[in-house]
Structure 1
Amino acid sequence: MSAVHKVDNEDLNERRRAALAKIDNAEFGWFHIRACLVAGVGFFTDAYDLFAINLVTPMLGMIYYGGTLPSDLDLGIKVAASAGTFLGQVGFGYLADRLGRKRMYGIELMIIIVATLGQSLSGHGVSLSLPASLIIWRVIVGIGIGGDYPLSAVITSEFATTNRRGAMMAAVFAMQGFGYLTTGIVALILLAAFKDSIMANPANLDYVWRILIGFGCIPACVAIYFRLTIPETPRYVLDVENNVNRAEHDVSVVLKENRNHLQSDDDSEKVLANPSIVRGSSSDFIAYFSKWQNFKVLFGTAVAWFCLDTAFYGIGLNNSFILSSINFSSVKGDDWSTCWNAAVGQTIIVLMGSLPGYWVTVFTVERLGRVRIQLLGFFMSAVLFAILGFAYNQIRNYSIALFIVLFSLTQFFQNFGPNATTFIIPGEVFPTRYRSTGHGIAAGCGKLGAIIAQVGFTQIKDKNGTNASIPQLLEIFALFMLIGLFVTFLIPETKGKTLEELSNEDDFASPTYSHNNALDEQK
């Protein structure tokens, strides 16, 4: 058993600050790039699996129901992944704080791989129909996807340098855009390959949707080894495992320093505990978040994410209905052309709006700040949804191209705005012992918004005729964007601040000591 060594408290606090300073002020290098790529591949897979269903459900209706999938089944299949994602975000968020980031990282990808294969191989049975089987598998895949949110966000933020943390987290999240785009591209390739057989018999769309879903396994399989071998974050080792020796050793390994002047590998195995460390517990959790300055941050991030996802998934999982309502995708009597146009429409919207929005955030988040981008995104999304909602028929009748441009702009300002920042900020503003839990709670509230939006969209869109109430839904989404705008004022700006400065705790800070001072002393 490792021996626990006691050293002067102030010395331990100085060593803690020095280790954190090295991480915060490190030169951007290959390790940071690798961390972004490993986390980013997961988000590519997440978006692919979530949004591929947008193109799959119309195919299921054509194959098995002679036209359109019944609304209750369409709702069940689409909302299942969001329900699973909620469970995964909250559950994995808690477990990553309790058991460690490294121990949980990779498990969520294993779940995604198994459940994705399960979806693509689902079939009718005596006791279980195909839609029921898909719903079950999509709940499971959602759990895996949900786990990726707090784990990837927290691991990226805890390894990142202070002045590039926002850009690194935004780059990880931006891989969603490529996943979303790839669903449309893969669908187009498959539809082109199977065109003749589908034209002869629409039932051959069965090949297309199964391959389209199953393709989502490939990127997850590529990333799983790297996730399983990523080191534990030094902040977790310092502030939760409470092992100063191990943290110093891990920092030197990550930054590829010469460790001779620090300690030997044998020394790193000795547990050097800091009695000043606050241990995470249910009572401490309540005490921390019972303070208004801390609770308002959790409340603000959670409600902002709820408002964002209400519109983002209400729209994102129903693009085919909206494109059909403006007579862009639906071709009467031609199932292949209807599917083709839906895939083209989704690809155009992603290329014009979503993908540019993600990457504008990556390149501006460190200059403009998180809060300013979130306020801008919510404001512009509210304006655009209001225009599309109140002038829906006029715009549609005047020009379909204009409608698609405006609709794409809503996607742009959601991604150059709250869709990115609601992911970034919760990974920065909570103390290490609750960082993953806090992120999971905020993200879970977002998925509650997605579930409510999906149920509401299905119940309202056909209220006065097929797709007739979509304008009213767009107006509702505009209202949610305004609510998100107002709660953003509860959230602190995180640009240029260390994670310890943002946690609203003293964190052993001294008025005469800074991270930069600690770094200078090590030199």
Structure 2
Amino acid sequence: MKKESKVVMAKELQVLNALDVAKTQWYHFTAIIIAGMGFFTDAYDIFCISLVTKLLGRIYYHVDGAGKPGTLPPNIAAAVNGVAFCGTLSGQLFFGWLGDKMGRKRVYGMTLMLMVICSIGSGLSFSHDAKAVISTLCFFRFWLGFGIGGDYPLSATIMSEYANKKLHAAVFAMQGFGILAGGIFAIIVSSAFNAKFDAPAYEINALASTVPQADYVWRIIVMVGALPAALTYYWRMKMPETARYTALVAKNAKQAASDMSKVLQVDLEVEEQKGEQLAEDRSNQFGLFTKKFLRRHGLHLLGTTSTWFLLDIAFYSQNLFQKDIFSAIGWIPKAETMNAIDEVYKIAKAQTLIALCSTVPGYWFTVALIDKMGRFAIQLMGFFFMTVFMFALAIPYNHWTHKDNRIGFVIIYALTFFFANFGPNATTFVVPAEIFPARLRSTCHGISAAAGKLGAIVGAFGFLYMSQNKEKEKADAGYPAGIGVRNSLLVLGVVNFFGIVFTFLVPESKGKSLEEISGENETNEGYNKQPTKSSGLFSSDFLRCHEFRLLGRTSTWFLPDIAFYNQNLSRKDIFSAIGWIPPAKTTEAIQENPDKAKVYARHHTDIVVQNLLIVPGVLNLLTLPFIFLVPESMGNL
């Protein structure tokens, strides 16, 4: 009994409860703007490069006498598009870990200054030589990505720890405005330069179509990303450390109460004794690589990393290569019919329209409804509609390439962005900042976000090559033949489907305090408490203890049975396809056309192998993540 009296749970600290129940007030909006400006800058810096890659190709890789404008070689295009993601991945892991060790505020300033310096550096170069320009650009964009990577876990963690239960999602909506701002600014700059320095189309005069002043256009666009970050530096440094870090990680409840009294403008009791008792409690002090963490949060971490990874494959490949998709369907005119600056304008206009009509509204639908619908429902719905619309674009792809049907393609394409943002692009960011303990929150968010950026790298590099035309002579100069835009969209549809599957590993956090979600309000005994005898199948008590087990058992029975019975019922077709069972007696019609019979047999074999062997293989692969939901029962009842 004496030991139990010393256990103080996080929910007993008045300062943390005050944060959860505080009415929405001015400091909440200040925190949203300050933290959100980081995401505004992140989105601008990451996506602005897709607006100028065509221009870089025209300026630095022009070939005299070529029928088409110069383009970036495959390895250069991959580096320019993907190097920032490599930096972001590294930054998320490093600064996520550092934020839990040194505190959110101290590390926050480092990331911001890195973003400002490297945004400016991205527009500089040692000479006008192509190698020097691209090398400088890639160097600074890697370190820009490193700073952006740190901003992800820190902004998310700070906002979740500052906000009341209703505002955790609002900060991420600023990313939509960052994407929109990039397009609008590119339109303004390209319009101004086009008006001042008129140039003919490439097909009229190839050399004169790219005026020397075009070199300033891309530099201005990438450098202006430093401005919003620099403007918020002072206010970031004035924000106090979050109360949850100070009280639960630094174990200084007195300082936490003092800081939040000023922020909330209320008197809070200084709970030194409770803080000391909380510091002595070891029930919630497990580390990241411990069995206790894996038991409590292992599946959650698998869920947040896998869903973010899958989302970013689709989301970033679509965003970075909108210009290629729009060119493929003819919505953006052919490059040779425009001058260099006019091409930037047309690309920016198309991307801005998509952002204005789908990306930004999607974010704000999430902000408005996330605490009514819940994170799980929004993420599941988003992945579902992304899958549906991607297949709707891919399967009848030839239909969409006709001039009269292009508007329909753009509308459906825009809807994939709407449901990405009114869906997993917001929730994958919000949830990792809510469901893990305070001392590991920034680290786990960094790991989840890094998995996302790994997906972005796969999307950026993979889609660049995959989307090339199947016929090598029709592919962009220097690229091997790909699988075409249609098949690339089919692949993205499958990726989104996997997102639906892995969403079931992510818990709902709607309306709960951070300590309640992460289990910091629970002792060891409380966390493992079994349902009472009166608990029904659909009671919250039963679901809390057994929802993952029930999902695991049902899914690991459902998916293999599809494969098992499919293979059993189709054995005769498989054996016939591989020649183990002799073919049936041929008809006179086939005997008269032996060549046609061979083609038919080969085609039939391909269908059998694909449908009867590949599909069960995919279903069995899908079963693997659900096995992790099923606990080991050997020797226990």
Look up the equivalent residue of 1:228 and give its one-letter code. M
Q: Structure 1 residues 171, 49: CA separation in 2 closer, same or farther (over 3 Å shift)?
A: same
What does residue 227 of structure 1 align with? 236
What does residue 515 of structure 1 align with? none
The reply on whether 1:383 has 2:398 as its aligned counterpart is no
Look up the equivalent residue of 2:24 and give its one-letter code. F
What does residue 345 of structure 2 align with? 340
Deviations 1:70-91 (A, max 9, x none): 1211110110011011011111
What does residue 317 of structure 1 align with? 320
What does residue 297 of structure 1 align with? 300
Contact 1:38 1:227 in 2 (8 A): yes
1:372 to 371, 377, 390: 377
What does residue 505 of structure 2 align with? 490
The reply on whether 1:287 has 2:291 as its aligned counterpart is yes
Shift of 1:121: 1.3
Q: Report the aligned-residue RMSD.
A: 2.4
Output the CA distance in 1 between the equivalents of 2:129 and 2:93: 35
**Equivalenced residues, count:** 494
Look up the equivalent residue of 1:381 and give its one-letter code. M
The reply on whether 1:240 has 2:249 as its aligned counterpart is yes
1:81 to 64, 70, 84: 84
Contact 1:101 1:155 in 2 (8 A): yes
What does residue 218 of structure 1 align with? 227
Output the CA distance in 2 between the equivalents of 1:510 and 1:460: 52
Output the CA distance in 2 between the equivalents of 1:306 and 1:247: 35
What does residue 174 of structure 2 align with? 175
Look up the equivalent residue of 2:127 and give its one-letter code. H
1:120 to 114, 120, 123: 123
Shift of 1:15: 8.3
Deviations 1:59-105 (A, max 9, x none): 10111112211121111011001101101111111000111111111
Q: Structure 1 residues 506, 362: CA separation in 2 closer, same or farther (over 3 Å shift)?
A: closer
What does residue 190 of structure 1 align with? 189
2:20 to 17, 24, 36: 24
Look up the equivalent residue of 2:246 and give its one-letter code. V
The reply on whether 1:209 has 2:226 as its aligned counterpart is no
Output the CA distance in 2 between the equivalents of 1:131 and 1:171: 36
Q: Structure 1 residues 11, 315: CA separation in 2 closer, same or farther (over 3 Å shift)?
A: closer
Deviations 1:15-52 (A, max 9, x none): 84322211111111111111101011111111000010
Contact 2:358 2:414 in 1 (8 A): yes
Deviations 1:125-176 (A, max 9, x none): 78962111111111100011111110011101111112x1xxx332211111
1:354 to 340, 356, 359: 359
Partner SS state of residue 127, structure 2: coil
What does residue 521 of structure 1 align with? none
Partner SS state of residue 90, structure 1: helix
The reply on whether 1:436 has 2:436 as its aligned counterpart is no
Shift of 1:337: 3.0
What does residue 537 of structure 2 align with? none
Deviations 1:290-349 (A, max 9, x none): 21x411100001000000000000111111111111122233242233222111100111
What does residue 621 of structure 2 align with? none
Partner SS state of residue 320, structure 1: helix
Contact 1:243 1:273 in 2 (8 A): no
Q: Structure 1 residues 309, 9: CA separation in 2 closer, same or farther (over 3 Å shift)?
A: same
Shift of 1:272: 8.2
Contact 2:375 2:510 in 1 (8 A): yes
Look up the equivalent residue of 2:326 and give its one-letter code. L
Look up the equivalent residue of 1:388 and give its one-letter code. L
Contact 1:170 1:358 in 2 (8 A): no
Contact 1:120 1:211 in 2 (8 A): yes
What does residue 47 of structure 1 align with? 43
1:257 to 266, 276, 279: 266
Contact 2:308 2:449 in 1 (8 A): yes
The one of the two structures with greater contact order (alpha-carbon pairs below 8 A, sep at least 6) is 1
What does residue 477 of structure 1 align with? 492
Deviations 1:405-462 (A, max 9, x none): 1110010000000000000000100000111111111110000001011111122222
What does residue 407 of structure 2 align with? 401
Output the CA distance in 2 between the equivalents of 1:127 and 1:414: 36
Contact 1:294 1:504 in 2 (8 A): no
The reply on whether 1:425 has 2:431 as its aligned counterpart is yes
Q: Structure 1 residues 376, 193: CA separation in 2 closer, same or farther (over 3 Å shift)?
A: same
Q: Which structure has the greater CA radius of gyration?
A: 2
Output the CA distance in 2 between the equivalents of 1:470 and 1:350: 21
Output the CA distance in 1 between the equivalents of 2:191 and 2:249: 53
Output the CA distance in 1 between the equivalents of 2:243 and 2:430: 20
2:60 to 60, 64, 70: 64
What does residue 514 of structure 1 align with? none
Q: Structure 1 residues 145, 248: CA separation in 2 closer, same or farther (over 3 Å shift)?
A: same
Output the CA distance in 2 between the equivalents of 1:394 and 1:288: 54
Contact 1:240 1:280 in 2 (8 A): no
Output the CA distance in 2 between the equivalents of 1:19 and 1:206: 54
The reply on whether 1:446 has 2:455 as its aligned counterpart is no
Shift of 1:509: 10
Q: Structure 1 residues 30, 306: CA separation in 2 closer, same or farther (over 3 Å shift)?
A: same
Contact 1:38 1:223 in 2 (8 A): yes
Q: Structure 1 residues 139, 475: CA separation in 2 closer, same or farther (over 3 Å shift)?
A: same
Look up the equivalent residue of 2:239 and give its one-letter code. I
Contact 1:240 1:279 in 2 (8 A): no
Partner SS state of residue 97, structure 2: helix
Output the CA distance in 2 between the equivalents of 1:340 and 1:125: 23
Output the CA distance in 2 between the equivalents of 1:242 and 1:279: 13
What does residue 141 of structure 1 align with? 144
Q: Which moved more, 1:414-423 or 1:382-391?
A: 382-391
Look up the equivalent residue of 1:478 and give its one-letter code. G
Shift of 1:11: 8.4
Look up the equivalent residue of 1:288 and give its one-letter code. K
Output the CA distance in 1 between the equivalents of 2:381 and 2:284: 38
Q: Which moved more, 1:197-206 or 1:69-78?
A: 197-206
Q: Which moved more, 1:464-473 or 1:152-161?
A: 464-473
Gaps of 5+ in 1: 1-7, 512-523
Contact 1:198 1:205 in 2 (8 A): no
Shift of 1:279: 7.4
Gaps of 5+ in 2: 63-69, 201-207, 477-482, 527-637
Shift of 1:13: 4.7
Look up the equivalent residue of 1:193 and give its one-letter code. A
Output the CA distance in 2 between the equivalents of 1:473 and 1:48: 26
- The normalised TM-score by structure 1 is 0.89
Partner SS state of residue 494, structure 1: coil
Partner SS state of residue 504, structure 2: helix
Deviations 1:461-493 (A, max 9, x none): 225133771111111111111111011111111
Q: Which moved more, 1:396-405 or 1:208-217?
A: 396-405
What does residue 575 of structure 2 align with? none
What does residue 520 of structure 1 align with? none
